[in-house]
Amino acid sequence: MNHRGIIPLLFLFLLIPSASCIGIGASPDQIDFGMVGQEECVAQELYVINTGSETEQVLLTANGVNLSIEPRDFVLEAKKSGVVEVSVDSIDILKAGEHTGSILITARPPGNTEGLGFGAGVKIPVSFVVKENSNLKIFAAVVSLIAIFAIVLLWVRFNK
Protein backbone atom coordinates (compact mmCIF):
# COMPACT_ATOMS: atom_id res chain seq x y z
CA MET A 1 0.00 0.00 0.00
CA ASN A 2 1.38 3.42 -1.00
CA HIS A 3 1.08 6.05 1.79
CA ARG A 4 3.19 8.74 0.08
CA GLY A 5 0.12 10.83 -0.87
CA ILE A 6 -1.45 10.69 2.61
CA ILE A 7 1.37 12.41 4.50
CA PRO A 8 1.26 15.67 2.45
CA LEU A 9 -2.54 15.74 2.83
CA LEU A 10 -2.24 15.34 6.61
CA PHE A 11 0.22 18.24 6.78
CA LEU A 12 -2.07 20.34 4.60
CA PHE A 13 -5.10 19.83 6.88
CA LEU A 14 -3.16 20.19 10.14
CA LEU A 15 -1.38 23.42 9.19
CA ILE A 16 -4.34 25.37 7.73
CA PRO A 17 -6.12 27.62 10.31
CA SER A 18 -9.80 26.96 10.99
CA ALA A 19 -10.89 30.07 9.08
CA SER A 20 -8.90 29.32 5.98
CA CYS A 21 -9.36 27.01 3.07
CA ILE A 22 -7.45 26.47 -0.14
CA GLY A 23 -8.11 29.72 -2.01
CA ILE A 24 -10.08 31.65 0.62
CA GLY A 25 -9.55 32.86 4.18
CA ALA A 26 -11.16 35.22 6.69
CA SER A 27 -10.17 37.27 9.69
CA PRO A 28 -11.26 37.14 12.45
CA ASP A 29 -11.95 33.40 12.52
CA GLN A 30 -15.06 34.02 14.65
CA ILE A 31 -17.32 36.97 15.44
CA ASP A 32 -18.54 37.52 19.00
CA PHE A 33 -20.64 40.66 19.46
CA GLY A 34 -20.74 40.03 23.23
CA MET A 35 -23.64 41.45 25.28
CA VAL A 36 -26.02 43.62 23.26
CA GLY A 37 -29.11 45.51 24.34
CA GLN A 38 -32.37 45.22 22.44
CA GLU A 39 -32.09 48.90 21.46
CA GLU A 40 -28.49 48.65 20.21
CA CYS A 41 -27.13 48.38 16.69
CA VAL A 42 -23.91 46.36 16.52
CA ALA A 43 -21.53 45.77 13.61
CA GLN A 44 -18.06 44.34 13.00
CA GLU A 45 -15.74 44.16 10.02
CA LEU A 46 -14.79 40.82 8.50
CA TYR A 47 -11.79 40.60 6.18
CA VAL A 48 -12.08 38.09 3.34
CA ILE A 49 -8.75 37.06 1.81
CA ASN A 50 -8.19 35.40 -1.56
CA THR A 51 -5.12 33.27 -0.85
CA GLY A 52 -5.24 31.63 -4.27
CA SER A 53 -3.54 32.57 -7.51
CA GLU A 54 -6.75 33.29 -9.46
CA THR A 55 -9.55 35.86 -9.24
CA GLU A 56 -12.54 34.50 -7.29
CA GLN A 57 -16.26 35.28 -7.06
CA VAL A 58 -16.99 35.49 -3.30
CA LEU A 59 -20.46 34.87 -1.83
CA LEU A 60 -21.33 35.25 1.87
CA THR A 61 -24.39 33.52 3.34
CA ALA A 62 -25.72 34.00 6.91
CA ASN A 63 -27.13 31.01 8.81
CA GLY A 64 -29.00 30.90 12.11
CA VAL A 65 -29.28 34.51 13.35
CA ASN A 66 -30.53 37.89 12.11
CA LEU A 67 -27.34 38.90 10.35
CA SER A 68 -26.91 41.55 7.70
CA ILE A 69 -23.84 41.26 5.47
CA GLU A 70 -22.71 44.01 3.11
CA PRO A 71 -21.56 43.30 0.46
CA ARG A 72 -22.79 39.71 0.10
CA ASP A 73 -21.32 39.05 -3.32
CA PHE A 74 -18.14 40.47 -4.89
CA VAL A 75 -15.13 39.64 -7.05
CA LEU A 76 -11.78 39.36 -5.27
CA GLU A 77 -8.47 39.35 -7.15
CA ALA A 78 -5.70 36.87 -6.30
CA LYS A 79 -3.71 37.64 -3.13
CA LYS A 80 -6.09 40.53 -2.26
CA SER A 81 -8.49 41.09 0.62
CA GLY A 82 -11.88 42.72 0.91
CA VAL A 83 -13.78 44.16 3.87
CA VAL A 84 -17.33 43.08 4.68
CA GLU A 85 -19.54 44.66 7.36
CA VAL A 86 -21.48 42.21 9.49
CA SER A 87 -24.30 43.57 11.68
CA VAL A 88 -27.17 42.14 13.70
CA ASP A 89 -30.65 43.02 12.40
CA SER A 90 -33.79 43.42 14.49
CA ILE A 91 -32.28 42.78 17.92
CA ASP A 92 -35.50 44.16 19.45
CA ILE A 93 -37.51 41.15 18.22
CA LEU A 94 -35.01 38.59 19.54
CA LYS A 95 -35.55 37.00 22.93
CA ALA A 96 -33.06 37.70 25.69
CA GLY A 97 -30.32 35.09 25.85
CA GLU A 98 -27.55 33.60 23.74
CA HIS A 99 -27.84 33.49 19.95
CA THR A 100 -25.47 31.67 17.60
CA GLY A 101 -25.09 31.21 13.89
CA SER A 102 -22.48 31.32 11.18
CA ILE A 103 -21.39 32.99 7.98
CA LEU A 104 -20.49 30.71 5.10
CA ILE A 105 -17.94 32.25 2.73
CA THR A 106 -17.68 30.48 -0.61
CA ALA A 107 -15.45 31.29 -3.56
CA ARG A 108 -15.40 30.04 -7.13
CA PRO A 109 -14.17 31.26 -10.51
CA PRO A 110 -16.08 34.34 -11.77
CA GLY A 111 -18.92 33.58 -14.16
CA ASN A 112 -19.31 30.00 -12.87
CA THR A 113 -23.06 30.05 -12.14
CA GLU A 114 -23.88 26.52 -13.30
CA GLY A 115 -24.81 24.22 -10.42
CA LEU A 116 -22.61 23.87 -7.38
CA GLY A 117 -19.36 23.61 -9.28
CA PHE A 118 -15.96 23.40 -7.63
CA GLY A 119 -15.01 26.08 -5.14
CA ALA A 120 -13.61 26.78 -1.70
CA GLY A 121 -15.49 27.63 1.48
CA VAL A 122 -14.97 28.81 5.05
CA LYS A 123 -17.47 28.90 7.91
CA ILE A 124 -17.19 31.71 10.50
CA PRO A 125 -19.08 31.18 13.81
CA VAL A 126 -21.11 34.18 15.03
CA SER A 127 -22.47 34.67 18.56
CA PHE A 128 -24.00 37.33 20.78
CA VAL A 129 -26.08 37.58 23.95
CA VAL A 130 -29.18 39.78 24.03
CA LYS A 131 -29.64 41.47 27.41
CA GLU A 132 -33.09 41.72 28.91
CA ASN A 133 -34.70 45.10 28.46
CA SER A 134 -33.99 46.73 31.84
CA ASN A 135 -36.31 49.68 31.08
CA LEU A 136 -39.24 47.27 30.88
CA LYS A 137 -38.27 45.74 34.24
CA ILE A 138 -38.04 49.18 35.86
CA PHE A 139 -41.41 50.18 34.43
CA ALA A 140 -42.99 46.94 35.70
CA ALA A 141 -41.47 47.49 39.16
CA VAL A 142 -42.77 51.09 39.34
CA VAL A 143 -46.27 50.03 38.24
CA SER A 144 -46.22 47.22 40.82
CA LEU A 145 -45.18 49.62 43.61
CA ILE A 146 -47.93 52.09 42.65
CA ALA A 147 -50.49 49.27 42.63
CA ILE A 148 -49.34 48.03 46.06
CA PHE A 149 -49.42 51.59 47.44
CA ALA A 150 -52.97 52.10 46.09
CA ILE A 151 -54.15 48.80 47.60
CA VAL A 152 -52.62 49.62 51.01
CA LEU A 153 -54.12 53.13 50.91
CA LEU A 154 -57.59 51.77 50.10
CA TRP A 155 -57.30 49.09 52.78
CA VAL A 156 -56.33 51.70 55.42
CA ARG A 157 -59.26 53.98 54.46
CA PHE A 158 -61.85 51.21 54.56
CA ASN A 159 -60.59 49.76 57.85
CA LYS A 160 -60.84 52.99 59.87
**Full residue range of the structural domain in which residue 80 is found:** 17-131
Task: Identify whether 110 is part of a domain.
Answer: yes
Whether residue 20 is predicted with pLDDT greater than 80 in this model: the reply is: no
Of 64-68, 100-104, 135-139, give the lowest mean pLDDT range: 135-139
CATH (domain of 24): 2.60.40.10
Residues of the chain with pLDDT > 70: what percent? 76
DSSP conformation letters of the chain: ---TTHHHHHHHHHHS-TTEETTEEEESSSEEEEEE-TT---EEEEEEE--SSS-EEEEEEEESS-EEEESSEEEE-TT-EEEEEEEE--GGGSPSEEEEEEEEEEEE-TT--SSS-S-EEEEEEEEEEEPP-HHHHHHHHHHHHHHHHHHHHHHHHHT-
pTM: 0.66
Does 39 have pLDDT greater than 60?
Answer: yes
146, part of any domain:
no
Residue-wise pLDDT for 127-160, tens only, equals: 988 887 666 667 777 888 888 988 888 888 888 7
- The answer as to whether 115 is a domain residue is yes
Is 91 contained in some domain? yes
